[in-house]
Amino acid sequence: VQDRMHEACRAVGLDPALILRRYPHELSGGQRQRLIVARALMLNPKLLIADEPVSMVDASLRATILKNIYDLKDGHGISIFYITHDLATAYHVSDYVMVLYKGQVVEAGPPKEVIGDPQHPYTQLLIASIPWPDPGRAWGGATTAAEDIAALDAMDRDVPTVFRGDVSGFRLEVGTQEWGAHERDM
């Protein structure tokens, strides 16, 4: 059991000698997050469900968690069911993306296709919500200059007028697949 605990700690980037003798309140938030994943790894799972794993954490912890997810997926052969509203992170850790709207799959496919060329208005809205440090440059989700330019071309298309300004009165009318101002059922 000790060997498996040490191996699981190392798999998520923790030094077992430093971590296993501490109480939870003596660990940082990032160490606690990784220790939770290490505990799950001890069961040798085939599937790990990660529900909004990087929401409400700072940038450095976010990067660490995403690296751990990527390493688990690629290094340990564990399938990850990654649930998020953050398409920027989904782009980097996913092999396949499904976008759900009101419980229905509205778009699915490889991240480069779904995020690089969104077809559904809700997917477009999710992408439009990605914050950019430089408002003059749209997120491309790419890792090379050529991919970045191609992704920017896709992102530079005009966002439908329905998404400009206040969108609280707009919704997709189920059954019609049309966006617009609709009375909400109360």
CB 38 within 8 A of CB 11: yes
Chain region(s) in the chain for CATH 3.40.50.300 = 1-94
Query: Among 6-20, 56-70, 77-91, which is the least confidently predicted range?
Result: 56-70
CATH number of 1-94: 3.40.50.300
Q: What is the mean pLDDT of the chain?
A: 75
Amino acid at 47: L
**pLDDT surpassing 80 at residue 168:** no
Q: Whole-structure pTM over 0.95, yes or no?
A: no
Highest mean pLDDT pick, 13-22, 26-35, 157-166: 13-22
State the average pLDDT over residues 105-122. Answer: 90
113-118 long-range contacts (CB < 8 A, ≥24 apart) are: 115/87, 115/90, 115/91, 115/141, 116/141, 116/150, 116/151, 116/154, 117/154
